[in-house]
């Protein structure tokens, strides 16, 4: 059987895209080695410019993770006593000063909310793609859960907890919403890998805002729609915002940073979180 040259090229292109979609932002239940070793993913995440947060408004704290290790987080407390808490999850670079600054912005924007930017890398912060890949590959899912569970215990009972994160952080934003149980009040996922385990999703106790780029080469729309169906089956809603943008479009260090989409997504995320805390 003979195939035209154009058909062969098309088939190869489809294969590359399909493989890419399976390789990024993998579920927290799987090994991070696949993501860490993906050269396309690494090349799409340009190293950020050096940045030092001047006059920080928060401070680092140490708490006990449920596996007996020490967990770390950057806290910006609410000016007034509050039972509202926001967990912020970093990208694959780790808890750097960019994320700390982002956490400060969210605290200022949301007002009467205490914000915790969680360190999933035990103090390690990447400045190169190679280090980021190494730290991502070394992230153990059980240890990550122990850190989140420890912080849930640290903030205490009777809190209203919302979560937000980007890519790796988007995946963990969803995981944290599960781990927070009945105290979870809202979850924002910026292009995080959709959880595939329907049994896990069924334990969800809150609504989701999922932010997606239609040109994402790593996360398929089918996977996102699959998560939406699972969330609906849990008795909750997943609002999906889709933009004509690539993966990590909201990161200014991305050469394909989409300022318009990032601004619109931030507005929607802010509205979602404010409504979640108002309930």
Q: What is the distance between the alpha carbons of residues 200 and 178, in angstroms, rounded to a whole number?
A: 8
If you average pLDDT over residues 46-53, what whole number do you get?
A: 81
Q: What pLDDT is attached to residue 48?
A: 77
Indicate the pTM of the whole model.
0.87
Strand stretches in 167-207, DSSP E: 184-190
Q: With contact defined as beta carbons under 8 Å apart, do 246 and 219 qualify?
A: no
Torsion angles phi and psi, residue 10, rounded to 5: -65, -40
Q: What is the distance between the alpha carbons of residues 65 and 68, in angstroms, rounded to a whole number?
A: 6
pLDDT digit string, tens, across residues 166-213: 999 999 999 999 999 999 999 999 999 999 999 999 999 999 999 999
Q: Which residue has the higher pLDDT, 1 or 157?
A: 157
pLDDT digit string, tens, across residues 97-132: 999 999 999 999 999 999 999 999 999 999 999 999
Q: Of the candidates 119, 231, 133, which has an alpha carbon nearest to the alpha carbon of residue 174? A: 231
Among all chains, which residue has been given the structure tokens 């600054």? 101
Domain 5-278 annotated CATH 3.40.50.10610: no
pLDDT band at 33 (very low <50, low <70, confident <90, very high): low
pLDDT digit string, tens, across residues 129-150: 999 989 988 899 999 999 999 9
DSSP per residue over 42-106, as a string? HHHSPPPPP---SS-SSEEEEEE-TTSSEEEEEEE--SS--SEEEEEE--TT-S-HHHHHHHHHH
Is 50 exceeded by the pLDDT of residue 19? no
């Amino acid at each position: 059987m003979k195939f035209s040259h154009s058909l062969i090229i098309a088939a190869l292109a489809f294969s590359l895209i399909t493989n890419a979609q399976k390789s990024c932002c993998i579920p927290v239940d799987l090994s991070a080695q696949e993501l860490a070793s993906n050269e396309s993913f690494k090349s799409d995440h340009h190293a950020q410019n050096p940045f030092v947060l001047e006059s920080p408004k928060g401070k680092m704290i140490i708490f006990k993770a449920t596996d007996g290790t020490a967990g770390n987080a950057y806290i910006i407390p609410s000016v007034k006593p509050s039972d509202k808490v926001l967990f912020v999850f970093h990208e694959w670079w780790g808890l750097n000063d960019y994320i700390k600054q982002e956490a400060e912005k969210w605290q200022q924007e949301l007002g009467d909310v205490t914000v915790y930017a969680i360190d999933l890398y035990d103090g390690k912060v990447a400045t190169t793609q190679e280090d980021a890949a190494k730290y991502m590959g070394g992230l153990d899912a059980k240890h990550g859960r122990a850190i989140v569970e420890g912080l849930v215990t640290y903030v205490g009972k009777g809190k209203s907890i919302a979560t937000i994160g980007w890519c790796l952080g988007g995946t963990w934003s969803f995981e944290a919403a599960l781990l927070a149980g009945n105290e979870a009040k809202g979850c924002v996922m910026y292009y995080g890998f959709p959880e595939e385990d329907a049994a896990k999703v069924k334990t969800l106790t809150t609504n989701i805002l999922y932010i997606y780029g239609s040109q994402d080469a790593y996360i398929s729309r089918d996977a996102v729609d699959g998560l939406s169906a699972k969330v609906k089956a849990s008795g909750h809603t997943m609002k999906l915002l889709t933009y004509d943008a690539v993966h990590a479009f909201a990161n200014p260090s991305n050469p394909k940073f989409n300022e318009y989409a990032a601004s619109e997504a931030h507005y929607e995320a802010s509205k979602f979180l404010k409504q979640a805390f108002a309930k």
